[in-house]
Amino acid sequence: MKIGAGLPLLAWAVVLFFAGAAGAETDEGLFTIARIRYGGGGDWYADPTSLPNLLRGLRERTNIRAAAEEARVEILGEEIFRYPFLYMTGHGTVRFTPAEIERLRFHLQSGGFLWADDNYGMDASFRREIRKVLPGSELVELPFDHPIYHAFYDFPNGLPKIHEHDGHPPKGYGIHHEGRLVVFYTYETDIGDGLEDADVHNDPPEKREAALRMAINIVHYALTH
């Protein structure tokens, strides 16, 4: 089933969520996460085992009927409108073309949601590009009592710290459009690394569990708000 460009995308996500809770089994009814292929030289494909592990966690721990694999989309591809939940990560430079900026703006303002997870290195370019996508809307740190930190699991101190990077505390930033959170940016934490297979980074079990719980919160929040 394909979403028309005029249909609010998050409304479709809620349909998927409740259809899953009712037990829908067909591939067309399964929720998945769409990883954005972006230009600029950054490794948009980083952490290849992270999203399949998150999707498995959603199936095992929630009522969300999630697919086994992520989708991978071009911003200008029509298939992007099938996916209300977008994801991007990487270590390097992010750059959107003018046409991609307009398309991504339309997607987010029409009901879509973007989770950007800094994999250590994309911060400056992501901030520059998302400012073009949503001009006049700055990334603002979300308070610890924001529902995204309590959507399914409780994180009273905000984001968990998965990898040290520069040793700064983890920060969760958001951009709202008409009162709805449309972008969530996780910085100085690296949730995606924590979601990877155990032998990739050799993270201790408690770090991997914290990453999975926080990622489930993000998806659960996006599908229910």
Instruction: Indicate if the pLDDT at residue 75 is higher than 80.
Output: yes
Residue 1 lies in a domain: no
Which run of H or of E encompasses 105? helix 98-109
Which pLDDT score is estimated for 28?
66
Q: Is 9 exposed, middle or buried (0-12, 13-18, 19+ CB in 10 A)?
A: buried
Say which residue, 28 or 33, is predicted with more confidence: 33
**Do 17 and 64 contact (CB within 8 A), yes or no?**
yes
Q: What pTM, to 2 d.p., does this model score?
A: 0.88
Confidence (pLDDT) at 3? 33
Query: Any idea which of 10-19, 81-90, 179-188 has the lowest mean pLDDT?
Result: 10-19
Closest residue by Cα to residue 189 from 220, 153, 213: 213
CB-CB neighbours of 136 under 10 Å: 5
Taking residues 17-25, report their average pLDDT: 34
Nearest Cα to 50, choosing from 225, 191, 214?
Answer: 191
Total of domains in the chain? 1
**Span of 22-31, 75-84, 137-146, 190-199 with lowest mean pLDDT:** 22-31
81 phi and psi angles, rounded to 5 deg? -75, -5
The residue length of the chain stands at 225
Domain residues for the domain of 59 are 9-224
**C-alpha to C-alpha distance for 100 and 129, rounded to whole angstroms:** 10
Asked, for residue 2, whether it belongs to a domain, the answer is no
pLDDT of residue 33: 98
CB 31 within 8 A of CB 67: yes
Give the pLDDT confidence score for residue 106 in this predicted structure. Answer: 98
3 belongs to a structural domain? no
Tell me the percentage of the chain whose pLDDT exceeds 70: 88
CATH of the domain at 188: 3.40.50.12140
Mean pLDDT over residues 94-100, rounded? 98
Which helix (H) or strand (E) segment is 6 a member of?
A: none
